[in-house]
Structure 1
Amino acid sequence: MHTGERLGRLVAAGRVVASALPVDTNPVPSWTHLTKVDPEDDKRLPLLYPRYLRWTDAVAVGGSTAVTPTNTEATFALLSAVDRPVFHEPSDPTHVTDRTMDAAAFIAIPQVLNGSTDAIVGDLGAGIERVRERLAPAMVEERVPWWTPGVVRDALADAATTWLLATAAFEAYVVQNPDSAAAREAGVTAEDVLGPAEAARRAMVADRYLRAPVVYIEYSGTFGGMDAERVVEAVDGAVSRSRVWYGGGLASRDDARAMLEAGADAVVVGDAFHEIASEERAIFDRARDALPDDASRATVADWLSDAAAGDTAAAAYLSTVPGVADPTATAGRLLVDTVTVWLRLRAVAAGTASDAALDRAVSAAGVRGAGPAEADEAARRWSRAALGAVGGSATEPLATQLSPAGDR
């Protein structure tokens, strides 16, 4: 037996032993709630997005439509103001750049288990090619002296390719909404939607053969209801190491609880988070002539009791987070803070307040950190983005747009 073969068998045996031990060897943390932020230019963030994202466990950056390297980099720049892990879930290899790699906690590479061959193998091959041909050589170029021989550079680039792929987390996707953009990208049709038994079988392959850290049951913007519960329950019973995530149409506590009780380790919320910004647009338009720049929190709260009465998008998002005891009350306080800060920033943009007023507005927003230079820079980045939005047009809402123009 050759030495390489012996080594390969030892590594395989080590993996088997490790999987049998009563320890969690999954590199993806055991999260319960994740928020997905879409870099698409038409997607906006709530004004106080760092405050909302304090309630989630982690943030995923990715989308299926109108995503580019530029707006992906801008998204990561804005999310540097958030004190939660932020990872990258690219839908195309070109979305991964040197800047996103530096900013992301890790890269999550989707593998669609019920899509076309291109979605499973072709896209992955394109991603590996991009790592090997561009990203790994760029890493070597940046870190080794110019006089390093070419043969050494090639060897280092090959090692960097292996390292980058080893540190990526492969997500085994089961796409269950054939009418979604994700399904179109992956070649999933109505005939490819899986029942519980078939989903469980493919999850076993992902868990035990592909060793995917995550099996993601994705309904892409629609809530799967009882059908999704049965699929999640079957998948949960089939895996031993992989995390089971559910995403799609979550907009209430009951929705999130149903999926967690069915066996999902975590729920992923995207649209409900972005809808807060749409709600803010309407609130800001109504506040524009109704409230002065220096209105107190009490005055704002009284006004909001009529202007934003009833169920709100902010409460719907927070209701999906298990750790928020009273989503309605928490959302109410955040909306009061949001309008109060917006009024202060409006005054700064109009030139009727000093820079000290901007500092007070940033502090009120709860974005500024207590000391570290990185936290202060994140606060400044947030305030520039906010002022860019409010100063652009008298009719624009102060909801940060994920684009280079929004990050100034």
Structure 2
Amino acid sequence: MIDWKKWKHVTKLDPDKTITPKAVAEIVDSGTDAIMISGTQNITKDNVSHLVEMLKDYSIPKVLEPAGTEGLRDDMDLIFVPSILNTDVAFWLMGVHKIWVQHFDVDWEKIVPEAYIVMNPRSAVAMVTKAKTEMTPREAAAYGECADRFFHFPIVYVEYSGTFGDPALVRAVREKLHGARLYYGGGINSREKAEEMARYADTIVVGNAVYEAEGVEKLRETIVK
């Protein structure tokens, strides 16, 4: 069984973005602990399958993080399932999950629930889920504490999605977690930023840097363990 709790660095690949097989090979060889296939917009069965096909011959742990039921498949090592905490739209906390469970044969051994705190108002995930992103570190920490203590989510994920976040807010969430692992994602494209957030997060997630110029080199800089 894959021990995802030991991961320090995860690379996120977006099915809606273009990447070459050569870049995928370099990412797998970079030292990252796992590959997560995840995106918000234009996620289809075909573009998810395209990424999975490029990864199939590698032994690195592979995670699917579905935004909905599109692209769902059962041949991944794990499925990280997000619930958005800071939204009034209940569909993103429970509704889409109910549809999935009702219509698909779920392999619960592969499921890892995530409690998302979405912080970038300009991100696709914030706009789609109508996330309430204006909050203080204390408010964010309260979301994290509720996710951990009330609902026993194994992962609390602070998501700044494309922009580098507030270390003080991430630290505040960290201080309120008892059992959950803290994931951080957003704007990490250098060693300095990786080290900053790795001080508080158990796992940092790097995505957009892969698609920038010298993307794989930037990715290697972010691997701090």
TM superposition score normalised by structure 1: 0.52
Paired position in structure 1 for 2:141: 200
Q: From 149, 161, 168, give the equivalent of 1:230.
A: 168
CA pair 45-171 structure 1, distance change in 2 beyond 3 A: farther
| Whole-angstrom CA distance in 1 between matches of 2:216 and 2:49 | 26
Native 8 Å contact 1:219 1:247 kept in 2: yes
Counting matched residue pairs gives 222
From 94, 97, 113, give the equivalent of 1:170: 113
* Number of the residue aligned with 1:53: 28
Taking the aligned partners of 1:195 and 1:45, their CA distance within structure 2 comes to 40
Return the letter of the residue paired with 1:257.
E
Q: 2: CA distance between counterparts of 1:32 and 1:265? A: 6
TM superposition score normalised by structure 2: 0.91
Letter of the structure 1 residue corresponding to residue 188 of structure 2: L
Partner Cα distance (2:191, 2:110) in 1: 34
Structure with the greater alpha carbon radius of gyration? 1
Q: Percent identity, please.
A: 31
| Equivalent pair of 2:24/2:54 in contact (CA under 8 Å) | no
SS of equivalent to 1:107: strand
Three-state SS of the structure 2 residue aligned to 1:114 is coil
The structure that is helix-richer by fraction is: 1
SS in 2 for 1:203: helix
1:77-96 to 2 correspondences below 5 Å: 77-96=53-72
1:113 aligned onto 2:85: yes
Q: CA deviation at 1:47?
A: 1.7
Tell me what 1:270 maps to: 207
- Deviation (angstroms), 1:48: 4.1
1:128 aligns with 2:128: no
Q: Secondary structure at the match of 1:220?
A: coil
Name the CA distance, whole Å, in 2 between partners of 1:121 and 1:49.
Answer: 33
Shift of 1:46: 5.9
C-alpha distance in 1 between matches for 2:208 and 2:118: 17
Q: Which has the larger strand fraction?
A: 2
Task: Provide Cα deviations, 1:172-221, integer angstroms capped at 9, x if missing partner.
Answer: 000000111011121114xx433211111111121122221111100011
Query: What are structure 1's unaligned runs of at least 5 residues?
Result: 1-26, 137-160, 280-311, 324-408
Q: Distance in 2 between matches of 1:254 and 1:220?
A: 18
Q: Distance in 2 between matches of 1:79 and 1:247?
A: 22
Provide the rounded CA distance (Å) in 2 between the counterparts of 1:249 and 1:45.
22
**4+ residue segments displaced more than 6 Å:** none
Alpha-carbon distance change, 101 to 51 in structure 1, aligned in 2, over 3 angstroms: same
Alpha carbons of structure 1 residues 114 and 70: separation in structure 2 relative to 1, 3 Å: same
User: C-alpha distance in 2, partners of 1:206/1:83?
Assistant: 32
Equivalent-residue separation in structure 2 for 1:184 and 1:266 (angstroms): 25
Which residue of structure 1 lines up, in the alignment, with residue 152 of structure 2?
Answer: 211
Query: Once the 2 structures are TM-superposed, how far is the Cα of residue 314 of structure 1 from its aligned partner?
Result: 3.4
**Gaps in structure 2 of 5+ consecutive residues:** none
